[in-house]
Amino acid sequence: MSTRRARVVHEGARVTPLELFFDLVFVYAITQVTQFMADDPSARGVVRGMLLLGILWWCWCCYSWLGNRVHADDDGARIVLFAAMAVMLVASVTIPEAFVDIPGNLPGPLVFAACYLVVRVLHLVSYWRFAAGDASLRRQLAITAAPMLSGTVILSCASFTSGLTQTLLWGLALTVDYVGVLLTGVSGWRVHSAVHFAERYGLIIIIALGESIVAVGVGVADLPVSWPIIYGTTCGLIIAAALWWAYFDVVAPTAEKILHHASGAHRAALARDSYNYLHLPMIAGIVLLALGLKKTMNYLAGADGHTASEHLHGVGPYALFGGVLLYVLGHLGFRLRNMGSLNSVRVVMAVALVALTPVALLVPAWAALGILTLACVVWIGVEVHLYGPARREIRESIHATPALTP
């Protein structure tokens, strides 16, 4: 892994094909997390699923920063990414037994914790090598190692426990790592290309939305097609399209422009807060939505003894409406951090989702899905109507900015 051949990323650089290849492992990981919660459709299962997602997300974020430092197409960076992919893939395969070991062969919880340690150490060591000549960055990496190693030790200890104690230790490990990185500051971090950084996170949103669509189809793949299935898949796509619209219509390009015009430590802090932290609730919301769609499709397809006229039970309706709610809250935080203001329509949408969740428990499954679909359509329709001229002006100004289009 040669540092002499490593090219530092410059402003205007874009995401490389290798980074997209790297993200495919995260696609599988998200699918595994959704299935993990589907296999344990309880509050405990959802909490553990979110903890798993938090671990995987933090690993992915680390390599998004590495890719913004050095060109992923360089030989040394390629080797690092391929090695990280291998470890992340093993961790993803281990997700079904990340908390409870399946008897025989290797202990699942410990293997998952070991993968987390390896992928984080690999990131720090490679980043250190690629940071040759940048004393400030190396000092930042050394400081960051403390919460990372502490969190990994706690996660390893959790592997030898079970039940509530194990879940609490996982939560503590994540808290130490997330809060530790927040407290260590950004004095040494660099965002070399705002376009690359914003694009990387936009692509991961698309990947997560794709997984929600996959969840709709996988749940009914072995069942004969019917009108309720057609209805359900159409609703699922409309909801996913609304979430896509909410992010990519104006929010994503505006945030990219703001990040582009920031500099130094302010740019690094903006990238950390807006993308590392505030994109997590968006991703988590999409994963919960995928779980809700998966469960709802079972009712619409008549699987497991359910019917489309039956009321949704268990975590299904909460995941369905709560997932979109979490996504909207992530957007509110994202805008507040970037622009210092709130989108009033999305505040109303968040309140409406809270109010509609109890209603979803009282109506048939098909109606609950229809209510959420209608709410999403109205949400986007109102924004388009109210902010039409402003939307066009913002989008035209963004596309006309030469600095954002290398």
| Cα angle for residues 152, 16, 114 (degrees, 5° grid) | 15
Q: What angle do the packed helices 279-301 and 194-218 form, to 10 degrees?
A: 20
Answer whether 192's CB lies under 8 Å from 68's CB: yes
- Residue 165 belongs to some domain of the structure: yes
Quick one: tokens of 221?
Answer: 């793949």
Answer whether 280's CB lies under 8 Å from 57's CB: yes
Answer whether 197's CB lies under 8 Å from 404's CB: no
| 156, 268: one domain | no
| 169, 218: one domain | no
Domain that holds residue 225: 209-406
| 104, 22: one domain | yes
Residue whose tokens read 């388009």: 384
Q: What is the pLDDT of residues 35-83, one digit of tens each?
A: 999 999 999 999 999 999 999 999 999 999 999 999 888 888 899 999 9
| 160, 22: one domain | yes
| 79, 39: one domain | yes
**Count of domains observed in the chain:** 2
| 107, 252: one domain | no
- The Cα-based distances of 201 to 87, 117, 149, 386 in angstroms read 21, 23, 25, 27
| 380, 284: one domain | yes
| 178, 251: one domain | no
| 140, 252: one domain | no
- Residue 93 belongs to some domain of the structure: yes
Q: How far apart are CA 54 and CA 52, in angstroms?
A: 5
Q: Look at residues 247, 241, 208 and name the one whose alpha carbon lies nearest to residue 346.
A: 247
- The Cα-based distances of 152 to 14, 55, 57, 102 in angstroms read 32, 10, 15, 22
Residue 179: predicted pLDDT: 94
- Residue 2 belongs to some domain of the structure: no
Terminal Cα distance for the chain, rounded: 29
Residue 75: predicted pLDDT: 81
pLDDT of 4 > 90? The answer is no
* Across 21-44, average pLDDT: 91
- Residue 11 belongs to some domain of the structure: no
| Cα angle for residues 86, 59, 265 (degrees, 5° grid) | 135
| 309, 402: one domain | yes
Neighbours of 44 (CB within 10 A): 14
| 175, 309: one domain | no
- Residue 10 belongs to some domain of the structure: no
Q: What is the pLDDT of residues 135-147, one digit of tens each?
A: 999 999 999 899 9
| 284, 376: one domain | yes
Q: For residue 333, what pLDDT band results from cuts at 50, 70 and 90?
A: very high
55-64, 282-291, 301-310: the lowest-pLDDT one: 301-310
- Residue 329 belongs to some domain of the structure: yes
Residue 298: predicted pLDDT: 86
Q: What is the pLDDT of residues 337-364, one digit of tens each?
A: 998 889 999 999 999 999 999 999 999 9
- The Cα-based distances of 128 to 118, 140, 142, 193, 382 in angstroms read 15, 10, 9, 19, 49
- Residue 8 belongs to some domain of the structure: no
Query: Quick check: pTM over 0.95?
Result: no
Q: For residue 219, what pLDDT band results from cuts at 50, 70 and 90?
A: low
Answer whether 294's CB lies under 8 Å from 218's CB: yes
What is residue 311's three-state secondary structure? strand
Residue ending a domain, choose from 161, 189, 217? 189
